[in-house]
Every structure is written in C-alpha cells, then in structure tokens.
Structure 1
C-alpha cells in the first residue's frame, strides 16, 4: 500500500478494500437488474459501486508507473466483457444485436482514465478527445461517470471540497427520479450512490491482498454466471 509521504491524493488509498466493496455492490446491482428487476433494494445497494470504481481509476492514474499498460489491461477486459455484458442484459438474439454497441463499464473507465491522464500531464487534446468520444457514443454511465473522475482528480488534495462536490452530484438523482416512495416522497434510486462517500473519504487501512487480475476478471465472470442462471434456471 502507499506510504503516507508518497500520497498524491488526500483520501482513502485502501483501494483493494474499496474494490472488494465495489464488486460486492456491483454483484447485488446486476443480480437485481437481471434476475430480480422488481426488487429495487438490490439496485439501491449497487448504486455505490460506480463512484468507488471511478475513484479507484483516478488513484490508479496518479500512481501507475505505465499508463499505457494500465489502459491496455482495461481494454483487453473491456473487449472480453462486451459480448457477455450484452448477453447478460439482453439474453435474446435481437436484444443482443441491438445492444452490442452499448459499451460496458470498462470502456467508460478507460475514457475517464484517459481524460484524467490528459489533465494530469497537460495533454489537453487527450482529455478533449475523451470527452467527445463519451459524448458521441453510448457508454455505461456515460459523461456523468467521466465528470465524477474529473472532480476526484481536480479536488484530490482537498477531500472536504471533493466530498462536497461529489456529494451534490450524486444526490441530484434523488430529486429527479420516482423509483420509490420514502415517507411519502418520490425519489430516484440513483441518488443512493451518495452512500459511497464514507468508503472513499474515510481512511480504512485494511490493505487486503488481492491480485489485480481478480478484480478485472470478476466483471465478465459474474455476468456470465448471471446469464446462464437466467437462461437455464429462470
């Protein structure tokens, strides 16, 4: 884990722990969407996953020794995951064909990583190109996800400002959606992403040892399992 004197971002650097939390939440989310679409609480738990992944990408950008290898690893698993992602979410042939070009979260993370890298190294054209691409094509979480990564990066040395801005951005969907009623008030489930903030801004220092490829491989593997469950059991 990173030493205190090496810190390049003033928030939680316990990224392996954060990734474990994120993949657990993601599993709840996808299980809910694919197998139990009427049980919103699965997807509510899942809302915390993407902000944590976005934050970890920014940490990775700040600490990686080779940005090209980092992007290449993400790209390989993005390609592996794409047909599985389309199948799991749209298990019919027509649904698969119609949605094969809705790009999975790995592609979104690659774009966000590229934009942040361009800002960090002042290669502005990379950041502009990344924003254009994510705006023109259909990415999971899209431009909203990339904006989160930009804020994490720009406010990396001031966790109070960062948490405030991120908190506002994540809570906006509370007021825009009508997914469920709480105390007579209609709110959007996406707003529960704000529950990711304690994980991101409170230092945990648990430092679990997990091979990085486990995190990469988990995404396509769990989607493939969910696909087979819905095809052969449901």
Structure 2
C-alpha cells in the first residue's frame, strides 16, 4: 500500500465544518441537560456531536504530522476540562467530589486515538490494555465510543462497510427504552446519533480556516459558562 493509498479516506474531509457542527450540537446538548432538562429536543440535537468528534479523531490520526503530539494535546485538555465537566453537571461541592472520576469526552477521544496508534504500530499488547481499561474506567460513551472511533479508522477506505457498521452501532439504542415516548413506546434518544452519518459521509467543501485550539478551548470554556449560569440561577 502506497502512502497515497494509506491517506485516502472515502468520506467527508471537511473537518473544520464538521467540528463546528459538533460543537453547536454539543452546546445544545449541555444546555438541555444541565439548564433546560425538560427541553428534550436540545438533547436530541446533541446526539450527533460525539459521532462527529469520533470521526474527526479517525481522520486526524491519518493526517496528523505527529500522532504523539496530537495525543498530548488531547491529554492536556482532558485534564484541564475535567473539573469544568463535573462542575457543569454537579455544582454542589459534595456532588462534585463524588463525581470527579466521571471522565469527560476528551478522555474517550484520547483513548480512541491511542488505540489507533497501537494498531498502526502493531503494539497489540497496548491495544488490548486500552480496550480492557475502557471497560473499567468511567468515560463518556464507554467502550462503545472507543469502538466507534476504531470503526471509522479501520474502514476509512471502505465507505459502504463503514456506513453499515457505524449505522448499526449508532441506531442500536432505539431498541432500548428511554426518555422519548413515540408511537406507543419509549425510545432511548441516543439512537438519534445516527443522524450524524449524512454529515460524515456526504462530502462538503466549505474550506473554513479555524485555529485548532479554538475547538480544544471551547469545551472547558462553555462548561464553565454553564456552571456560572447555574450558580447565578441557583440551579442544581
């Protein structure tokens, strides 16, 4: 396989546009979850955020100049974001301490990238260790989130296979009971994550130029804003 073939990805490479969509959806999700929990539509919009972030990690792992520096950036912002992530959900001090080890999305993305690195370098002991660890630490989206990142990477050149696997993984929660009551039964709204797939697989070319650190910094900053709003409104 040539370098050119290795870098080919048969889906949308307009990642700056995708990330903007993802942070908009994520903000809707967090506003709905932490400030307006009765407005379920906001959390439904938010379901598309993680699949897009997961896909962008897979793309980034292929095109980054230095995957180790990429991993380091994710790690740094994972730890920076952790207290803000917990504060947004639990503004009460006792709840904050009890939930401090519920890890934010950066940790999920970080482990997913590390798993891709392990596959690239044929370090299967590391890959197995990461998958094993993902089952036991409390990360956003759990082991399923890690596997989705791996699927996007493994089938980056196989569009139809990638769509099939990711669609099944993302739509599966619709078969579980959950928050949304429709057509005589309840549904887990997490299944709406499948709506991210058209954005991922239909190619766009907005050619937006955005500093990559904006995306990193937005996460803790918007969580801090939500926490401050909760304090001001005496919510939670």
After TM superposition, the score normalised by the length of structure 1 is 0.95
Distance 1:155 1:10 in 2: 9
1:21 matches 2:9: no
For the 8 Å contact 2:152–2:162, the answer to whether it is kept is yes
Distance 1:5 1:206 in 2: 24
Aligned to 1:12: 12
For the 8 Å contact 2:11–2:202, the answer to whether it is kept is yes
Aligned to 2:162: 162
Deviation string, structure 1 residues 16-57 (Cα, Å, up to 9, x no partner): 000000000000000000001121111000000000000000
Aligned to 2:210: 210
Is the partner of 2:32 in helix, strand or coil? helix
Distance 2:122 2:14 in 1: 27
Distance 1:56 1:19 in 2: 8
Is the partner of 1:136 in helix, strand or coil? coil
Distance 1:211 1:98 in 2: 35
Aligned to 1:109: 109
- Give 4+ residue runs of structure 1 displaced > 4 Å after superposition: 4-7
Aligned to 1:31: 31
- Count of aligned residue pairs for this structure pair: 231
For the 8 Å contact 2:7–2:62, the answer to whether it is kept is no
After superposition, the Cα gap between the structure-2 partners of 1:124 and 1:5, relative to the gap in structure 1 and judged at 3 Å, is: closer
Distance 1:79 1:104 in 2: 9
For the 8 Å contact 2:9–2:157, the answer to whether it is kept is yes
| Gap regions ≥5 residues in structure 1 | none
Moved more, 130-139 or 99-108: 130-139
Aligned to 1:174: 174
1:88 matches 2:102: no
Aligned to 2:194: 194
Distance 1:162 1:97 in 2: 40
For the 8 Å contact 2:12–2:200, the answer to whether it is kept is yes
Following superposition, the deviation at residue 121 of structure 1 comes to 2.4
Is the partner of 2:50 in helix, strand or coil? helix
Aligned ranges for residues 116-127 of structure 1 at < 5 Å?
116-127=116-127
Distance 2:98 2:204 in 1: 43
| Gap regions ≥5 residues in structure 2 | none
